[in-house]
Structure 1
Amino acid sequence: AALRPGKVDTAMQVEIRDSDPAQFPRGDEWREVHRRGELLPPEIPARAILWLASHFGAAANGQTFSMSEPDFRARVEKDLEPYL
């Protein structure tokens, strides 16, 4: 299975947002994405990875999942709720 995690708020994102525009010209773009709240906390894709590695994802071989799919995110949260 493959996971498209989307835009995740990582340490690298912090570095990009804090970088000098001369070093990273697209920093403004990522600062705006952050300002709009479009970055996922790392825990959300991490849960999806856990789900895929568990018995819940056993039948997911060959499939691609995206964190932008609300149904997939809801399924992960519902299935893992008793374990988190």
Structure 2
Amino acid sequence: MNFAQRMRLIWIDSQLECGPLNRSDIMQAFEISTAQAALDLKAYRTEHPSRIKYEPRQKHYRRPQNAKPAFHENLRFHVYEAIMAMHLHKDIFHE
């Protein structure tokens, strides 16, 4: 797994702590394709099957009750902050 995908998996882990998640959330955060977002979710499900659950009715993923995050809180926080900073930078310079 490359560095970029590892960062996306950590971000997925952080978002599952906040609530439901779907492919479009990952696509928007990282400006990636639907196929890549699906691969990232598959990789997360493969590495951490007890920490993510798909809810077909709502068409989103959620952290199961009582499941703990896969990555340390500080790591999740810093990855999330880095992604937010990149989006802020993009908005400021209208890229």
Fold similarity call, TM over 0.5:
no
Indicate the structure whose relative CO is greater, using CA pairs within 8 Å and at least 6 residues apart: 1
CA radius of gyration, larger in: 1
TM-score norm. by structure 2 comes to 0.28
TM-score norm. by structure 1 comes to 0.30
